[in-house]
Chain A
């Protein structure tokens, strides 16, 4: 039985360091190549030595696919390709290819320049790595080699995020990467056709959550910002540079536009500016609204959002500032926070989750007095709000995608084991498909039942369809022909042609059978009785009585002779060729029942 093998090197019952190995019909594909944010040692990258102990990765892997530009999906790529050594093709979408190096460079800077690590990949390595990347379009079928092909589907989540279908012959696997089934202000919803893959590898970050409508969240957010600004207060929104930041920008920008507000909005500069540039370019990857209106105005050309300067923080009057990083643990966002925390008119909105120990987490859990470095005590008088803006599919969304794609098996990655367990149970219950959730390093084997295509010669097809009733859709039809397996290809031919092709002579195969019938009459009279009997029973067939006393039914010959010993017993000789086996055996059984009593 052919099988598909899946081994997660990362993201198996875990979030972060996504890296999944798939072997399908003799092809090996690596899906994503991410880093883990929680570790600073060797564990931050997947263990590539698992793939091959000795020998080059390039020989073993047929291709690498990156689903989107988040570092937990592409962070280990330069290490993998340049330091471990891989020269094969790397596939990603155009926006991912454009934005990915910016993030990698940023990551490198922080690790090497700030933390002072050595033995890390260099800028040059990032560049070299990017040279190996092949960019793909949505729904474009890319032929990796003669048998392996991949195809990208839209996944929402972030700009350029894609789901990939990997297909070899009739077997296929769909890897979703991270995806979002509810559209937001700048991205559409993930979509896939009914491709019925053998295996669907899906993320399951929110396996046990069903989310509220995004409108309530948006409205709350906007209302809070608006009220504060009207009061004359300042709003601080700590964000990570890419992804949700753009979403919030669009949200505020359109709201400002609609409500005719004048208060300035600032965005801390740096990385974002470069990335925003790409957002402007890849309009086709955004949602319906932005795609439709960009002719008049590109939504990412913000009218109200300007670059932030450190000096602006002291300006009087209301303003809204987006600042990095998102958890208020360091950098610009923390500086601004310290300046504004003392005024109860101001507000800080945390748009995402905060790790324990960060200032963000402290203020969210209600702490009002913070101890800063140098024993300073900072009293937080400003309002603290929490708003969840996340772009992963929730449990319902995951189920919806499974319903759309109709896979034969599901495999869950990128989530917590306990939550996966619940979803796994649900999937098996509702769709009656088997579901797997391997841990890192654990191999899952899935048996497939691929269909094997066979070429049929046109002559044979036409001939066979002409016989018998009309072709009925969806019902199997019996055909007679010769299956020829030659040079790794299958063909269905008519026997004569097959013989000719193989240079073989035709052998006749005939079955004969004797049936004893009690009949005292003469031979030819018996023959006549048999003839009349068959004529009556087999109305659809041509039954003939030949002058020499024998009877033919189609090509079957029946002869009646007297038994040598007992004259009252007649022997009916029935003879048929191999091709007429069906009719022949039917006839013998019919004759064995005896002739009807004649009048």
Chain B
């Protein structure tokens, strides 16, 4: 209805150009159809030599063929195929047939018979292989047709005896892709067929050509992927293939064995050359472990990767993978790990001071030493020491996965993971640190292990250090010395790399809250208190001191006896830190102290979060303000906004929620203020001067709504509708203000029309939400729509104004989780007084390092802006590779920004800041279409006229001192 009416508005005010739908294009294509296949025919007939024909075919292949003409083209090609003597041309035709059958919308069953027929008389192996490939394409295009598949498989089986490896290869591929699926109607028969097909494939495990062997294994794997159950009998065959001469065969065989071990984990297989039997999964595990020391690194990587997913393996076998019996001169020797453990348990903490410390102990019975273990022995020891870092990484990953499922194994592999912290390749080090973090629930670090872990804190790579801080956050330490050691090392790290401050504080926060009882005995020493003497008050701005306090306060949270050990200044510092670093310092119950921050009253009830409560209460209050006088409303809003902002600062977990609501209230406040202007009643021309306030308000509301929509993660459609509603109100306000201030009606036409369009699209997008918006601005507006559409702009404005005033304030429901996107530029710090000098006209690279939180898809949205003193602004899109993802919801941007400018006489500051780009088209409510691929989505989205692209600055600007010098001649 509304749309229909709107059309009438269009007709009245504007010249509407009817956009024609593009039916024409398809029509045009259809016209060319016969000519195309005909042209091909003519070309092929004209061709005098095979080379000519090949050329024509090549040219033809470059152009796409529309669905309708495919069959015709195929017929022409086939016709030519039978006539052609040259194998290369036939090959090309065969490949073209395959290409054509792939055409979307074309059902190739009509050409199948012909394609199979061509196979009969073909002599060239290459052409045969290509034809089989075509059949494969045809077969995959017809997944619903079992009889066709059966037929194709039969054809393939017939050609399996071909002497060329290429043909056999393709046959096996075809059988693998199209072999019968179990879930048929006649289940028995089908099953039999499946068995037969698997037997046929299995026979080719012993083919003389390694490529065919590989293809056979791949076909078997393909069967598995398509949901067919492989026979257990294959297992013994596959085991033999592990000793193949060719790496691709071995690699595929390892995969096949893994698949079988997952299918039949519990069946029993005999151990050759003995009477014993073991579970299949254990046997397979042993065999794959053996492949970790294969000659080819490709196989090694494959084997190491697969080990990780064999979780059913018995723990006895699992633990063997870390076992390596050492010996020296035929005498048993303990590993360094064992020695370290022993030293630790004997109470002494140092190792290897003496020569002969590792002297071999008892004699070994020579007969009992098994140098090549058939089982899993030492697989990971080898994998972790491998020459190629790919293998090492795969081994670390596998270790991680296995340790996650087995706590006892996690305990055992700890030593090895710790060792990996010293790998020569940074990637491996990083990976092992991450792995350790993932399994940290299962483990407690011994002191000597902790020592090794902490040594890495001095690493010059920031990624490594931060990963390590993350690790320490969730590590269990066993002794108080351990905690002390960790603290000392972290402080050392802090002095060496001051930029790690935040990360270290956070790390200590968790360290403290995890080990309150271990921190307790350390408190006097850490705070350097003395039972009799007052000690000097430490410097409150010292990051190291803050670090210590963070550790202590977090421990004190669950250790009520600790505050008794604090001295007076500690309490003062607590109050200060609770205020300034509220995300790091938890609320403490400090009985009998008045110095406790007022924000945390002693009467808090532990089971209910008071701040949450406070948030909701203040919102309740605001939503009931209708009964107040205008002055009162304004004041109430102002106070609530102030409260919320403060709450956000104090309670980091509520910050997103508080800011979000505060922004919303701010918008409302602005709207009310703008509408409260007495001057609305004054005649328009007199008002010219005062319009500044109202239009500024409208503009600000618009900005804020964009911020609300795009800067917060976790915003649901319920919120989006409110935000859009607020924006609509702002636009209405803008319209009114413009109407008031501009003379003449002409420009208003356009504006009115645009506004009505917006209302319309709003209605379309949020039709389901409209019932919740009783009495709101848009609700009333939609009621008045018929009138609005027909009335003159001046009337529209008048209606809008009254509706705006009468409309109620919409209740903003809060989502469960709401986080505000924040960015913090760490580098450049903006503190340097030394200007960055460079020759004008050349570029200088500025390293930018920033942390981003709660930004979705940062690769697409985050930009760097550089503002030059002359007002020139430069927008830089960082490369996707510059973003790292250290944890959920967090990103890190490390990039280089290139600056350049003409010469200046004096050094001056430029501003660097981060922007969040948004596009109102891709708003969360309207664009629910799943993104297919990056490039497609770009093309698929039509540039709509009301899609507003903009940016929101979301980091504090940082000033950089630069000085472009004039070039010397």
Chain A interface (Cβ < 8 Å from any Cβ of B): 182-183, 185, 188-189, 191-194, 208-220, 222-224, 226, 254, 257-260, 287-289, 350, 364-366, 383-386, 395-396, 399-400, 403-404, 419, 422, 425-426, 430, 470-471, 473-474
Contact = CB atoms under 8 A, between A and B. Distances in A.
Nearest to A220: B352
Contacts of B326: 210-212
A208 B355 contact: no
B422 A215 contact: yes
A213 B381 contact: yes
Contacts of B458: 258-260
Given A194-B245, A289-B389, A474-B208, A213 B384 contact: yes
Interface in B539-564: none
A288 B387 contact: yes
Nearest to A289: B424
A471 to B, nearest CB: 7
Nearest to A182: B385
A55 B254 CA distance: 57
Interface in B352-383: 352-356, 358, 366, 369, 371-372, 381
Given A220-B336, A383-B353, A474-B206, A213 B330 contact: no
Interface string B751-763: 0000000000000
A430 B367 CA distance: 12
Contacts of B416: 213
B654 to A, nearest CB: 40
Interface in B331-361: 333, 335-337, 351-356, 358
Given A213-B381, A217-B336, A364-B355, A430 B459 contact: no
B369 A191 contact: no
A210 B369 CA distance: 11
B64 interface: no
B371 A212 contact: no
Contacts of A473: 206-208
Interface in B402-419: 416, 419
B878 to A, nearest CB: 22
A210 B324 contact: yes
Given A215-B422, A474-B208, A400 B351 contact: no
Contacts of B616: none
Interface of B: 161, 163, 206-208, 245, 293, 295, 324-330, 333, 335-337, 351-356, 358, 366, 369, 371-372, 381, 384-389, 416, 419-420, 422-425, 452, 455, 458-461, 496
Given A183-B386, A212-B335, A258-B461, A366 B372 contact: no
A24 B458 CA distance: 58
A211 B163 CA distance: 50
A147 B334 CA distance: 51
Nearest to B332: A210
Given A191-B295, A403-B372, A426-B371, A419 B353 contact: no
B327 A210 contact: yes
A425 B367 CA distance: 9
Nearest to B390: A288
A132 B731 CA distance: 92
Contacts of B371: 210, 395-396, 399, 426, 430
4 A-B pairs closest in CB distance: A473-B208, A216-B336, A183-B387, A215-B419
Contacts of A210: 324-328, 333, 371
A241 B731 CA distance: 81
A263 B859 CA distance: 41
Contacts of A215: 384-385, 419-420, 422-423
24 contacts: A183-B387, A189-B387, A192-B295, A194-B295, A208-B328, A212-B333, A212-B358, A213-B384, A215-B419, A215-B422, A219-B419, A220-B352, A224-B352, A258-B461, A260-B496, A289-B425, A350-B355, A364-B355, A385-B352, A386-B356, A399-B371, A400-B293, A426-B371, A430-B371
Contacts of A287: 387
Contacts of A383: 353
A474 B207 CA distance: 8
B385 A213 contact: yes
Q: Which of A183, A211, A396 has the most CB of B within 10 A?
A: A396
A386 B355 contact: yes
Q: Which of A218, A220, A288, A365 has the most CB of B within 10 A?
A: A288
Contacts of B330: 208, 419, 422
A192 B385 CA distance: 18
B161 A254 contact: no
Given A212-B336, A213-B324, A213-B335, 7 more contacts: A208-B329, A208-B330, A210-B328, A211-B326, A216-B335, A219-B422, A471-B208
A31 to B, nearest CB: 23
Contacts of B424: 185, 254, 289
Instruction: Tell me if B's interface is mostly helix, strand, loop or mixed.
Output: loop
B204 to A, nearest CB: 10
B843 to A, nearest CB: 21
Contacts of B388: 288
B328 A193 contact: no
A384 B387 contact: no
Contacts of B325: 210
Nearest to A255: B422
Contacts of B358: 212
Contacts of B351: 220
Contact of B455 (A223, A289, A384, A425): A223
Contacts of B324: 210, 212-213
A254 B420 CA distance: 15
A422 B366 contact: yes
A365 B324 CA distance: 28
B329 A366 contact: no
Given A216-B337, A404-B295, A473-B206, A430 B329 contact: no
Given A193-B295, A213-B385, A257 B460 contact: yes
Nearest to A473: B208
Nearest to B425: A289
A173 to B, nearest CB: 20
A471 B452 CA distance: 62
A188 to B, nearest CB: 5
A185 B458 CA distance: 21
A268 B295 CA distance: 39
Contacts of A350: 355
B353 A385 contact: yes
Nearest to B340: A216
Contacts of B387: 183, 188-189, 287-288
A430 B369 CA distance: 11
A396 B373 CA distance: 10
Nearest to B244: A194
Nearest to B213: A473
A222 B422 contact: yes
Contact of B327 (A185, A209, A403): A209
Interface centre among A216, A257, A365 (most CB of B within 10 A): A216
A471 B386 CA distance: 42
Contacts of B161: 470
Contacts of A194: 245, 295
B216 to A, nearest CB: 12
A188 B389 CA distance: 11
Nearest to A426: B371
Contacts of B381: 213
A298 B325 CA distance: 37
A209 B329 contact: yes
A226 B358 CA distance: 21
A215 B384 CA distance: 9
Contact of B369 (A182, A189, A226, A426): A426
B380 to A, nearest CB: 10
A404 B295 CA distance: 6
A474 B244 CA distance: 13
Given A215-B422, A385-B352, A259 B460 contact: yes
Contacts of A223: 452, 455
A194 B371 CA distance: 20
Contacts of B425: 289
